[in-house]
Amino acid sequence: MHQNSSNDHPVTQLRIYILRVWTEEGRDGPVWRASARKGPQGERRYFTSADDLLEFMYVECWKP
What are 26-55's pLDDT values in tens digits? 999 999 999 999 988 999 999 999 999 999
Whole domain around residue 51: which residue ranges?
Answer: 17-62
Residue 43 lies in a domain: yes
Residue 1 lies in a domain: no
The pLDDT, as a whole number, for residue 1 is 45
Residue 9 lies in a domain: no
Q: Quote the pTM value.
A: 0.68
Yes or no: say if 50 and 32 are a contact pair by the CB < 8 Å rule.
Answer: yes
Q: Considering its fold, how many domains does the chain have in total?
A: 1
Cα 5 from chain centroid (whole Å):
22
Cα 25 from chain centroid (whole Å):
23
Residue 12 lies in a domain: no
Residue 46 lies in a domain: yes
State how far the Cα of 11 lies from the Cα of 62, in Å rounded to an integer.
14
Mean pLDDT confidence for 2-16: 65
State how far the Cα of 17 lies from the Cα of 36, in Å rounded to an integer.
7
